[in-house]
Chains A and B, each alone.
Chain A
Amino acid sequence: MSDASAIKDERVKDTSSLRRALIRPELGAMVGTVAVFTFFILFAGDSGMFNAQGVMNWSVVSAQFMIIAVGACMLMIAGEFDLSVGSMIGFAGMSIAIFSVTWGWPVWLAIIVTFAICVSIGALNGYIVVRTGLPSFIVTLAALFILRGFTIYFPQVIERRTIIGGVSDAAAGDWLAPLFGGKIGQPLFAWLGENGVISVFERGARAGQPVVDGVPMLIVWALALVIFGHVLLTRTRFGNWIFASGGDAQAARYVGVPVNRVKILMFMFTAFCATVFATCQVMEFGSAGADRGLLKEFEAIIAVVIGGALLTGGYGSVIGAALGALIFGVVQQGLFFANVESSLFRVFLGVILLFAVILNTYIRRIITGER
């Protein structure tokens, strides 16, 4: 190693450690996160947005975005898109409801079979993409329509309606359902309530209980998936293969990276994330609707792009995507707290998207030497 440091190229400029720490794929999303929080602390600081209930409110929404953003991020880095995420959410939710309510299966079986079906559909999407060489944009656009069509068709034919309720009753006492619909940390929150850290209900049936009684499993899933995705991507051999598959599939193949397998697995992972989202949603609402998950694929992609990923693949960060999802959730809920007309959400989002992408492109050019 001493040799390496001895050779000095006069054209390699010394860069400060601060600059090196800042110049990273997530920088755009970090700046965006700071900007968004600053904005809402200034304009909605006293609206209840930052008390226990308020925090839980935007955390849950952000966590929803995070779950699908992690899958979309890894798939995008592997060089592919999945536009069927939203339809998959509707399809998976409907599948659980039909199996458990209409057909009377135990909920755990309905959940497991739904996961198997959806991940298989993800694999099929991936298989078609790598076999035909068609753009995944087109293949999954087809899947978007096919899955949404079935999501409306099946409940209409079977139950003559497009919303199936009663999942909560079916899930009572089930061993698997709490993994998606339950909460953790109740004793901690009860203790926090008793000690006045968070407020408690003053009257009604739940008097004395803390206003926030636990962390929903949805948030646990989001954090677990973010950590899993980040570690897989940056710390493992498979992560290197994901970058390589999206960076230049042919170059990766020449050195023996199983590019097709990597891509198909990422399609399956995206479908898995969509199914986690759907399962949590069905357990929370107790029902499945044929219109659930509309436009979620674009929200996931926007979060990923705010997070610094390159649309053409080979570059990106799961942490960035998670921050993108956080920005998304905070803005959507924050405008409500700040008493701003909610249609401005889209304006705000478009502006953030534009600025984040401009900043991200600039940073990426510095890092990768693109010209």
Chain B
Amino acid sequence: MSIPASTSGAPIIEMRDIQKHFGAVIALSGVSFDIRPGECHCLLGDNGAGKSTFIKTMSGVHKPTAGEILFNGRPMRFDSPRDAMEAGVATVYQDLAMIPLMSVTRNFWMGREPTRRIGPLRFMDFATANAVTMAEMARMGIALRSPDQAVGTLSGGERQTVAIARAVHFGARVLILDEPTSALGVRQTANVLATIDKVRQKGVGVVFITHNVRHALAVGDRFTVLNRGRTLGCAERGRITPDALQDMMAGGQEMATLEGSLGGTV
């Protein structure tokens, strides 16, 4: 996979020195991050590093205590996830992406259902909704038996793909993926990574949160590592080795000892 030329463009979102405090707890103490069109920027960090808090700040769930968010170069405040979504920042959460009891179409259009007017009444336009859903799923390489199929009948990877396809269909310019591969098997992970690549080629900036270095290296163009609420460093593809990245994530020293005892299998 080569790095698309468009990665050199101006950032869509730039987060500068973001801090977030919850009462006495300092969750983020100065994180900087930016995302350009058509790149996959991986956000790595161990549990508790502040990844989730950080992306929730980016997607409008939390408001930063201090720091600046620039959207297309202009200062921006998202007051709600809805605001962020309207600006083109879509987030796919690991386990909250889809509602298993509902059909693929109902999930795909949830919150943005197309309507059709019959006299004074407005109904959901299922003909359009089903046709678009089937077409988008086919483009992502998922064969649905029918658009009425419940999401619960899909595999974990397929669910992530539906969520990603939904975000892209609704005009996401920045797609935040919160640990999309952490609960998946090998084959499904490969599918999701391939989906990320497809989305990136459309010029969408992808923020890929993971704690798996191999998954990150498979698709990432840039890598930012968080540790204890801070940016530990940012590296470009090809300028960092997997080992160096792994060490940075775990905070260096302790990992080296651990790895020794496990025979380098982590």
Contact = CB atoms under 8 A, between A and B. Distances in A.
A143 B156 CA distance: 41
Given A244-B102, A257-B110, A3 B150 contact: no
A314 to B, nearest CB: 4
Interface string A232-252: 000111011101100110111
Given A4-B137, A4-B144, A251 B99 contact: yes
Interface stretch (A5-13, A32-40, A41-49, A204-212): A5-13
A254 B81 contact: yes
17 contacts: A3-B135, A4-B137, A236-B122, A237-B124, A240-B109, A240-B110, A240-B113, A250-B96, A251-B96, A254-B81, A255-B111, A256-B81, A256-B111, A256-B112, A314-B101, A369-B100, A370-B152
A15 B146 CA distance: 11
B250 to A, nearest CB: 30
In the A-B complex, the 9 residue pairs with the smallest Cβ-Cβ separation, listed nearest first, are A369-B153, A247-B99, A255-B111, A369-B152, A237-B113, A368-B152, A4-B138, A256-B111, A368-B150
Contact of A237 (B82, B96, B115): B115
A368 B151 CA distance: 7
A367 interface: yes
A244 B99 contact: yes
B122 A254 contact: no
A134 interface: no
Interface string B101-117: 11000100111110100
A315 interface: yes
A314 B102 contact: yes
A244 B137 CA distance: 21
B71 interface: no
- Select the residue from A252, A254, A367 with max chain B CB neighbours within 10 A: A254
B116 to A, nearest CB: 10
Interface in A218-277: 235-237, 239-241, 243-244, 247-248, 250-257
Given A248-B99, A257-B111, A370-B100, 5 more contacts: A7-B141, A236-B122, A237-B113, A237-B124, A369-B154
B131 A1 contact: yes
Nearest to B90: A255
A4 B112 CA distance: 23
Interface string A349-370: 0000000000000000001111
Contacts of B137: 4
Nearest to A20: B146
B145 to A, nearest CB: 5
A311 B115 CA distance: 29
A236 B143 contact: no
Given A1-B131, A235-B123, A254-B93, A7 B138 contact: yes
Contacts of B97: 251
A235 B102 CA distance: 14
A310 interface: yes
Contact of B96 (A254, A310, A370): A254
A1 B134 contact: yes
Interface residues of B, number: 37
A7 B143 contact: yes
A26 B159 CA distance: 26
Interface string A196-216: 000000000000000000000
A318 to B, nearest CB: 16
Contacts of A250: 96
Contact of A4 (B111, B115, B143, B154): B143
Interface string A133-174: 000000000000000000000000000000000000000000
Given A8-B143, A12-B143, A256-B85, A244 B124 contact: no
B209 to A, nearest CB: 15
B91 interface: yes
A243 B102 contact: yes
B108 to A, nearest CB: 10
Contact of B145 (A12, A235, A244, A257): A12
Given A1-B131, A252-B111, A240 B124 contact: yes
A81 B98 CA distance: 23
B246 to A, nearest CB: 31
A30 B135 CA distance: 35
Contacts of B141: 7
Nearest to A15: B145
A101 B153 CA distance: 58
- Select the residue from A4, A8, A241 with max chain B CB neighbours within 10 A: A4
A85 to B, nearest CB: 24
Contacts of B112: 255-256
B122 A368 contact: no
A307 B154 CA distance: 26
Contacts of B82: 256
Contacts of A314: 99, 101-102
B177 to A, nearest CB: 13
Contacts of A243: 99, 101-102, 106
A241 B100 CA distance: 15
A250 B91 CA distance: 13
A277 to B, nearest CB: 26
A16 B150 CA distance: 17
B152 A3 contact: no
Contacts of B135: 1, 3-4
Interface in B146-181: 150, 152-154
